[in-house]
């Protein structure tokens, strides 16, 4: 076994002095007899050992830090620096030490990170230069798909990447034929070197699952053309409260029903008016299906706090209350959960460069469409498990209602304090929930059970397996590797210019102000309580830290800390 300490010194001798003719390695300890003589062989580009005394007495006790350069570290950890740009120094040093058994100083870490980012910049130039080729490959492999790339033309003749849009033909056709007429719009920030916003359009399939349609780094006007929304008549869109998005939807889709995510409104309401009573009244008004119930809830809020009532009125109740939603969409959602769910799925993909990210999204959807289609083939011609569970939950409350028949398909359903009219021929109930969700309400289910009929036969056909299979009958075609992508005559774009914001960059994630309210409420501002001549200082946590006693002695005042 060779002396590790001596071998380390030998490598240092080789690389530092650049002596490629001969190499001498020996242990620095005088008592150790380890010796190694080697000569450089130019034909094989290696050393040949001429003589060796392998016996040694000492184990390795050096850190090998001088053998490692920042360039070597940067080459080995380029991807880690790309995905985790805020990796701490201590954590990085521990990682390198555990993997290679070497010591990395703070200076080496900083230089290695800078070197790695320079390598990434050079790689990104080649990466973004392939965007036109990638767009042509998507069009070739999936005919009918819409892929668009936008660049910024600069006065110096350079083109910088600006926007990218992808809508695969299979997903577009599947949404048109087998999904409900509602789409969710949401955006998420990319976590890679080039910071942009990824916008996604997500629909809802027959089994109440998400159905991603298109993704882009811009796009509202493009998705209108691809999905054939025209001016938006007969469709609904749900999004957050982004002012630019609200204005764009109003201009481009004047006849569409634009819903706002009630969860965002609730969080903003909680910031202004703390208290469970405000939130309870809001959700009561939000989930009211008729205007009478909505006005009762809002009147209750007006009595509690007129300013909170006016705040919700300014948010336009037609965009967040079920009482004003239009029927026929078979979706009574008040939250944009379908878009948020998709953002969680693509969380890791958002850290990669743009083509890698887009490819991961495409492969995820290709795999998802196949699995959904395969799973749906075993369900038969019936409603789906998720819809059946919702219907069964509604059935549990029908015992509280009394049914009075008025005709063969017309009924009056009376509860303890309410009464509603149900019409089976028109599939309507005066509570409006049946018209909104397409699955039924407790009143219509009570009448169906009264007639001893199958409840599932009254569920809208959009929740059937036939409609579901239409959404997933189109497949996404695989693509080739980058070397086989078709060539184009377009000028390759450069990576987008980075925006350096003023001030010191933030290192911690900005948490939602509505979270951990219990902990923030317990933190009180520094208060002072006077108890006679003794003054007690209270910390932010509400605990006594010290007692300060002020003693007045004629012309001087002394402070004693207890």
Of 54-63, 334-343, 386-395, 424-433, the range with the highest mean pLDDT is: 424-433
With bands split at pLDDT 50, 70 and 90, how would you rate the model's confidence at 511? low
Contact 58, 3 (CB under 8 A): yes
Residue 392 tokens, joined: 């069964």
Model confidence pLDDT, tens digit, residues 348-372: 777 777 888 888 889 889 999 999 8
Taking the CA atoms of 277, 279, 280 and 281 in sequence, report the sign of the dihedral they define.
positive
Is the confidence at residue 497, as pLDDT, over 50?
yes
Model confidence pLDDT, tens digit, residues 209-244: 888 888 876 567 788 888 888 888 888 888 887 777
421, with CB counted inside 10 A (0-12, 13-18, 19+), is: middle
Give the residue-averaged pLDDT of 189-195: 67
pLDDT value of position 289: 92
pLDDT value of position 335: 87
Q: Which residue has the higher pLDDT, 486 or 21?
A: 486
Residue 188 tokens, joined: 């998420």
Taking the CA atoms of 460, 466, 467 and 472 in sequence, report the sign of the dihedral they define.
positive
The residues, ordered by sequence, that sit 6+ positions from 425 with a Cβ below 8 Å of its Cβ are 409, 410
pLDDT value of position 322: 93
Give the residue-averaged pLDDT of 105-114: 80
Q: Give residue 139's Cα distance to chain centre.
A: 27
pLDDT value of position 3: 45
Mean residue pLDDT of the chain comes to: 78
Is the confidence at residue 9, as pLDDT, over 70?
no
Is the confidence at residue 420, as pLDDT, over 90?
yes
Give the residue-averaged pLDDT of 253-260: 88
Cα-based distances in Å from 87 to 81, 131, 191: 8, 29, 13
With bands split at pLDDT 50, 70 and 90, how would you rate the model's confidence at 546? very low
Q: Within a 13 Å sphere around the CA of 28, how many CA atoms are in the beta-carbon half?
A: 11
% the chain with pLDDT above 70: 79
Of 330-334, 433-437, 465-469, 488-492, the range with the highest mean pLDDT is: 433-437
Is the confidence at residue 293, as pLDDT, over 50?
yes
Q: What share of the chain is helix, strand, coil (3-state, %, to 5)?
A: 45, 20, 35
DSSP secondary structure letters along 300-353: HHHHH-HHHHHHHHHT-GGGT-GGGPPTTSS----S-HHHHHHHHHTTTGGGS-
Residue 376 tokens, joined: 């749906």
With bands split at pLDDT 50, 70 and 90, how would you rate the model's confidence at 284? very high
pLDDT value of position 540: 45
The residue count for the chain:
562
Model confidence pLDDT, tens digit, residues 177-191: 888 888 888 877 777
What does the angle CA 381 – CA 382 – CA 384 come to, to the nearest 5 degrees? Answer: 125
- Residues 172, 212: Cα–Cα separation, whole Å: 9
**Any alpha helices (H) in 377-404, and if so which ranges?**
385-395
Is the confidence at residue 498, as pLDDT, over 80?
no
19-23, 203-207, 348-352, 389-393: the lowest-pLDDT one: 19-23
Contact 492, 134 (CB under 8 A): no
% the chain with pLDDT above 90: 20
Contact 249, 220 (CB under 8 A): yes
Radius of gyration for the chain, computed over Cα atoms and rounded to the nearest angstrom: 34
Is the confidence at residue 121, as pLDDT, over 70?
no
pLDDT value of position 338: 78
Is the confidence at residue 551, as pLDDT, over 60?
no
Strands (E), 217-315: 236-239, 257-260
Neighbouring C-beta atoms of residue 510, cutoff 10 Å: 6
86-90, 94-98, 252-256, 412-416: the lowest-pLDDT one: 86-90
pLDDT value of position 328: 85
Give the residue-averaged pLDDT of 179-207: 79
């Amino acid at each position: 076994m060779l002396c590790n300490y001596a071998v380390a010194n030998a490598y240092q001798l080789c690389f530092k002095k650049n002596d490629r003719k001969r190499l001498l390695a020996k242990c620095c300890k005088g008592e150790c007899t380890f010796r190694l003589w080697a000569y450089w062989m130019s034909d094989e580009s290696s050393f040949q050992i001429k003589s060796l005394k392998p016996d040694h007495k000492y184990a390795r006790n050096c850190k090998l830090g001088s053998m490692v350069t920042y360039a070597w570290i940067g080459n080995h950890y380029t991807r880690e620096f790309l995905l985790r740009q805020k990796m701490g120094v201590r954590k990085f040093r521990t990682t390198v030490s555990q993997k290679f058994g070497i010591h990395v100083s703070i200076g080496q870490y900083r230089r290695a990170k800078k070197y790695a980012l320079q390598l990434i910049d050079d790689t990104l130039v080649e990466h973004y230069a392939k965007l036109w080729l990638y767009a042509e490959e998507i069009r070739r492999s999936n005919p009918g798909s819409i892929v668009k790339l936008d660049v910024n033309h600069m006065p110096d003749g350079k083109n910088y990447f600006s926007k990218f849009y992808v809508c695969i033909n299979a997903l577009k056709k599947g949404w048109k034929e087998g999904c409900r007429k509602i789409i969710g719009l949401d955006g998420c920030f990319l976590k890679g070197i080039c910071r942009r916003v990824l916008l996604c359009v997500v629909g809802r399939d027959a089994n109440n699952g998400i159905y991603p349609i298109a993704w882009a780094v811009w796009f509202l006007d493009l998705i209108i053309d691809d999905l054939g929304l025209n001016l938006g008549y007969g469709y609904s869109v749900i999004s957050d409260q982004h002012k630019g998005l609200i204005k764009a939807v109003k201009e481009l889709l004047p006849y569409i029903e634009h819903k706002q995510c009630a969860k965002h409104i609730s969080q903003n309401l909680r910031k202004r008016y703390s208290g469970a009573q405000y939130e309870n009244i809001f959700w009561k008004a939000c989930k009211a299906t008729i205007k009478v119930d909505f006005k009762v809830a809002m009147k209750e809020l007006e009595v509690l706090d007129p300013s909170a009532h006016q705040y919700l009125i300014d948010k336009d109740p037609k965009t967040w209350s079920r009482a004003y939603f239009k029927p026929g969409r078979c979706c009574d959602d008040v939250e944009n959960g379908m878009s948020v769910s998709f953002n969680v799925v693509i969380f890791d993909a958002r850290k990669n460069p743009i083509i890698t990210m887009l490819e991961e999204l495409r492969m995820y959807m290709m795999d998802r469409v196949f699995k959904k289609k395969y799973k749906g083939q075993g369900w038969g011609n019936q409603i789906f498990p998720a819809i059946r569970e919702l219907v069964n939950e509604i059935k549990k409350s029908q015992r509280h209602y009394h049914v009075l028949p008025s005709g063969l398909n017309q009924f009056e359903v009376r509860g303890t304090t309410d009464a509603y009219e149900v019409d089976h021929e028109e599939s309507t109930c005066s509570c409006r929930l049946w018209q909104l969700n397409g699955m039924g309400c407790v009143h219509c289910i009570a009448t169906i059970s009264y007639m001893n009929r199958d409840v599932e036969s009254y569920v809208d056909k959009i929740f059937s397996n036939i409609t579901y299979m239409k959404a997933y009958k189109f497949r996404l075609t695989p693509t080739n590797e980058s070397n086989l992508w078709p060539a184009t005559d377009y000028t390759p774009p450069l990576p987008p210019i980075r925006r350096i914001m003023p001030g010191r960059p933030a290192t911690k994630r900005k948490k939602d102000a509505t979270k951990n309210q219990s902990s923030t409420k317990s933190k009180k501002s520094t208060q002072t309580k006077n108890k006679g001549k003794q003054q007690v200082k209270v910390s932010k946590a509400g605990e006594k830290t010290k007692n300060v006693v002020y003693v007045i002695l004629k012309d001087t005042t002394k402070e004693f800390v207890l």
